[in-house]
Amino acid sequence: MILIDGSYLEGGGQIVRTAISLSAVLNIPIKIINIRKNRKNPGLSNQHVSCVLAVSKLCNGKTEGLFKGSDTLLFYPGEILEEDFTIDIKSAGSISLVIQSLIPLSLLIKKTVEITIIGGTNVEFSPPIDYMEQITLKFLKNIGINFKIEKINRGFFPEGKGSVKLKLMPSKVKNLELIENTSKKINGIIFNQNIDESVSNRIKKSAFDELMKYGYDSRINIENTTGKSTGVGIFLWNNFLGSDFLGKKGISSEKVGKRAVDQLIREIDTKMAIDNHLTDQIIPFMPFSEIKIGVSGITNHTLTNIYVVERFFNVKFIIEDYLKNECNGYLIKTEKRC
């Protein structure tokens, strides 16, 4: 059994998600202690419970300590059950984070499994479902990870009620070296549910005008929908670099568009291939093959995931400064320990 300290560095829920996924893939029992010890509301939240339940359903796993507020969790993986199922987070908890927990299990399955997830598609402190579709999915396909995402409807805080179908397909990790970004193409989507369409139009104009100032042409679509929850926001992407911003009370539509553009331009200016949000999502796959990536920044999320992954594999992650061809970022690779 592998022991993992859930308070390491940021001590967030990502430790739980990554550890549970790798435990299932490698069929190694784990014990996680001090879960989110230093957070305002320590222990497991409903979001984390849902992630563990989803992985447990797929691998017929057994748990001890799986309840809201628990600071210790034991997980015993079982044999893969290739059956479709539904997970309801029962809040606006992030669907994207449940998807992150499930994707590595595509390395185990022999046939397609469809999982319906109900919760929040566009909520704070997690990748929007658009990021998962346009960046995570497309990158992971380059290394042989096969899955599809079908957004049924959007869910915003506090109601949630969004739904997404995740189709996991048999996968095997391939080698990849991707360091620099040369793409000049910027795409975007403005999502608006139950809010006047003029808000979408103002966000689009603000983002488009701001991108023009930086010398970028762009293609930004508007999606106006009705649903069981209300929200608005924007997601922009340039290859494997992304930026999003949710509308909030007290923040004008013009600022929503401008802030999303400013975030994306900071990523583009590094000239690195991968943004700092995708970086931590790639870490769990790197020990399975020879993967070398150039990233715009190193976050605590990335360092935390490296800690967890190194607990499972006889590898060491190497992070080096990368200052070539006007790039300003980092190179990440793995090497076997002696």
The answer to whether 14 is annotated as binding is no
pLDDT exceeds 80 at position 157: yes
Is the domain of 88 the same as that of 114? Answer: yes
Q: Comparing C-alpha atoms, which of 220, 225, 195, 191 is closest to residue 205?
A: 220
What would the pLDDT profile of 274-315 be if each residue is shown by its tens digit? 999 999 999 999 999 999 999 999 999 999 999 999 999 999
Domain housing 244: 186-259
pLDDT of residue 296: 97
For residue 48, say whether it is annotated as part of any ligand binding site: no
Q: How many helices (H) and strands (E) does the chain have?
A: 9, 16
SS3 293: strand
Same domain, 178 and 304: yes
Q: Which amino acid is at 258?
A: K
Please give the pLDDT value at position 48.
94
**Together in a domain, 178 and 283:** yes
Same domain? 6 vs 120: no
The yes-or-no verdict on residue 258 having pLDDT over 80 is yes
CATH classification of the domain holding 89: 3.65.10.20
Where among 35, 54, 81 does a domain terminate? Answer: 81
The letter for the amino acid at 261 is V
E strand spans, the chain = 2-5, 30-33, 62-64, 73-76, 85-88, 113-119, 147-153, 162-168, 176-178, 186-193, 218-225, 231-238, 241-246, 291-295, 315-322, 329-336
Kindly report the CATH number assigned to the domain that includes residue 216.
Answer: 3.30.360.20
Query: Of residues 36, 259, 301, 311, which has the active-site annotation?
Result: 301
Whether 88 and 75 share a structural domain: no
* Whether residue 338 has pLDDT greater than 80: no
**264 assigned to some structural domain:** no
- Please count the structural domains in the chain: 4
**9-48 pLDDT tens trace:** 988 999 999 999 999 999 999 999 999 998 888 999 999 9
279 part of a folded domain: yes
Q: Is the pLDDT at 115 greater than 90, yes or no?
A: yes
Indicate whether 265 belongs to any domain. Answer: no
146 plus 277 within the same structural domain: no
Q: What is the pLDDT of residues 197-217, one digit of tens each?
A: 999 999 999 999 999 999 998
**217 annotated to bind ligand:** no
71 & 131 share domain:
no
Return the closest-CA partner of residue 97 out of 117, 114, 81: 117
The reply to whether 334 sits in an annotated binding site is: no
Complete DSSP assignment for 55-85: HHHHHT-EEES-STT-S-EEEE--------E
Q: What is the CATH number of the domain that holds 41?
A: 3.30.110
Residues 267, 329 contacting (CB under 8 angstroms): no
- The reply to whether 48 belongs to the active site is no
Residue 337 has pLDDT above 90, yes or no: no
Using one digit for the tens of pLDDT, what is the confidence trace for 63-84?
Answer: 999 999 999 999 999 999 999 9
Residue 9 shares a structural domain with residue 147:
no
Q: Is the same domain home to 92 and 75?
A: no
Q: Could you tell me if residue 229 is inside a domain?
A: yes
Is 281 annotated to bind a ligand? Reply is yes
**Domain-embedded: residue 207:** yes
266 in any annotated domain: no
Q: CA 71, CA 234: separation in Å to the nearest integer?
A: 35
pLDDT of residue 38: 85
pLDDT at position 184 over 80: yes
Q: Which of 143, 172, 201 is the last residue of a domain?
A: 172
Of the candidates 228, 232, 231, 209, the one whose C-alpha atom is nearest the C-alpha of residue 220 is 209
pLDDT at 103 over 90: yes
pLDDT at 284: 98
Looking at the fold, whether 230 and 306 belong to one and the same domain comes out as: no
290 and 177 in a single domain? The answer is: yes
Tell me the pLDDT of the chain averaged across its residues.
96
Residues 177 and 294 in one domain: yes
Q: Which of 112, 138, 172 represents a domain boundary (last residue)?
A: 172
